[in-house]
């Protein structure tokens, strides 16, 4: 079983899908000869040709609009947006067309478009290359929102997304692109969309995280262990559909919850998680649900380390909840 980074695992999933299914195409800015800004599609155009791995103009609205048209005619396009920060010119196409096509056609048409985009901070990208807008898309019925945290999950979830008939926002934590490496199975395998995983087992508190915050949560949980506190880390993997059952089962068992994400606090996905826990597991709680998040400011450049939640900030929330 080869070891892969997240970049290599995603490339492997794309290559496998392009080989197996002639309906799969990849399109986006510089995805072809250049292999994408993060080299995720490197070598694919040379192997499959420019008709299957197509460079596009710098026009996100056109990229997504074109992908929607391809999907309606039976293709399975993978549209790459260089940075998720650049996705907003295509926002209308995504929320008004892509997400609604199955509904408005009463199920006559599906629109199996996978929109890949690196998101989040951690690479000193500044305010235009570090945003985490996942909550916008979770608020839109008809879209699936997937955020992996490991190379193996990235490959398995992307293969699941490509095999499905619904549009998927596949947000990739670029902070983890090359910072972690693990064994990834060769060939085709899938990780089910809508199923969370326990990244670390524990008994006294549940840390809920996704994407680049999962390693941060695990680090904080290990630090908490030194204090004698048993902390579970739940990796959501999919925000929409949310594995509500896994969230509630863990929180009911531990009696405490801390939510971690790097998006701004106000109306971030953590607010939805907090509300879900309050509605369905309130009587199991031994302390308030706390959120450790990014700040309600544009993403900074020189103060990136201050903006992003780290193990120290998460540990402070754990201490507060455990001592409540």
3-state secondary structure of 295: coil
| Nearest residue to 84 via CA among 106, 108, 64 | 64
| Nearest residue to 260 via CA among 161, 153, 120, 139 | 120
283: tokens are 């009587």
Query: What's the CA gap between 133 and 12, in Å, rounded?
Result: 26
Longest CA–CA span in the chain (Å) reads 60
Query: What's the CA gap between 298 and 126, in Å, rounded?
Result: 9
Neighbour count for residue 196 (Cβ, 10 Å):
20
Cβ atoms of 120 and 135 closer than 8 Å: no
Q: Please confirm, yes or no, whether 129 is among the known catalytic residues.
A: yes
Query: What's the CA gap between 307 and 300, in Å, rounded?
Result: 7
DSSP 75-121: -EEEEE-SSGGGGGGGHHIIIIIGGGHHHHTTTS-----EEEEEESS
Residues 118, 119, 124, 128, CA torsion sign: positive
Q: Which position among 129, 280, 305, 320 bears the catalytic label?
A: 129
DSSP 154-186: HHHHHHHHHHSSS-EEEEEEGGGTTT--EE--S
Cβ atoms of 30 and 39 closer than 8 Å: no
3-state secondary structure of 144: strand
Q: Which residues are designated catalytic?
A: 129
């Amino acid at each position: 079983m080869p070891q892969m980074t997240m970049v290599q695992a995603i490339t492997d999933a794309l290559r496998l899908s392009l080989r197996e299914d002639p309906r799969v195409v990849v399109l986006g800015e510089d995805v072809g000869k250049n292999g994408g800004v993060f080299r995720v599609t490197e070598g694919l155009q040379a192997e499959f040709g420019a008709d299957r791995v197509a460079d596009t103009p710098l026009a996100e609205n056109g990229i997504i609009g074109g992908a929607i048209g391809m999907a309606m005619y039976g293709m399975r396009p993978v549209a790459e947006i260089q940075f998720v920060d650049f996705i907003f010119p295509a926002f209308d196409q995504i929320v008004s067309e892509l997400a609604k096509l199955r509904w408005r056609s009463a199920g006559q048409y599906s629109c199996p478009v996978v929109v890949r985009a690196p998101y989040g901070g951690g690479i000193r990208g500044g305010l235009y290359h570090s945003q985490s807008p996942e909550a916008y898309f979770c608020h839109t019925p008809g879209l699936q929102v997937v955020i992996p945290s490991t190379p193996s999950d990235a490959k398995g979830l992307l293969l699941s997304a490509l095999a499905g008939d619904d549009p998927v926002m596949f947000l990739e934590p670029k902070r983890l692109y090359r910072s972690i490496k693990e064994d990834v199975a060769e060939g085709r395998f899938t990780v089910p969309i809508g199923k969370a995983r326990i990244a670390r087992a524990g008994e006294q508190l549940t840390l809920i995280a996704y994407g680049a915050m999962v390693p941060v949560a695990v680090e904080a949980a290990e630090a908490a262990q030194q204090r004698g506190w048993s902390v579970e880390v739940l990796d959501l993997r999919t925000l929409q559909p949310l594995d509500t059952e896994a969230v509630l089962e863990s929180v009911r068992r531990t009696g405490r919850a801390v939510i971690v994400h790097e998006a701004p606090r106000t109306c971030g996905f953590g607010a939805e998680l907090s509300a879900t826990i309050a509605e369905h597991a309130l009587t199991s709680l031994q302390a308030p649900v706390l959120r450790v998040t990014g700040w309600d400011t544009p993403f900074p450049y020189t103060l990136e380390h201050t903006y992003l939640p780290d193990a120290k900030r998460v540990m402070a929330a754990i201490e507060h909840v455990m001592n409540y």
